[in-house]
Amino acid sequence: MTTAVEETLVLVKPDGVARNLTGEILRRIEAKGYALVDIRMVQADRELLAKHYAEHEGKPFYEPLVGFMESGPLVAIRLAGDRVIEGFRSLAGATDPTTALPGTIRGDLARDWGLTVQQNLVHGSDSPESAARELALWFG
């Protein structure tokens, strides 16, 4: 049985960049055997973030999330590998750092004392369709 190589978008969020965790996050990604296809540091503006998070517009967490994501630089990564979408999401751990298992990026590295759940270090596309849309937004 063969698996198709997928691509996904990974974002190291502003908290990960501010805490100098980008290198450790990249180390974990590469240790899993995924290929870094493209990487760039970005100061995301509201227009880009509104497109990225369009499905969440109107939800209670939308404004805090967009505000957090535009609060500082982030690192956008085009990542490739077998089942990379599912694999990276497993590597990242649960969205809420308080429930993320040890051995995951969020379980080991995310801070969970009184911070909003948006400050969870990384984003990874959740499906092939989302990955295609998000990669087009961030990498053109």
List the binding residues for ATP.
13, 61, 89, 95, 106, 120
Known binding-site residues equal: 13, 61, 89, 95, 106, 120
123 as an active site residue: the answer is: yes
Residues sharing a CB contact under 8 Å with residue 69, sequence separation 6 or more, in sequence order: 13, 14, 44, 49, 53, 118
28, 52, 78, 123: which one is catalytic?
123
Residue 75, beta-bridge partner list: 12, 41
SS3 76: strand
Report the C-alpha gap between 40 and 12 in whole angstroms: 10
Query: What are the residue numbers of the active site?
Result: 123
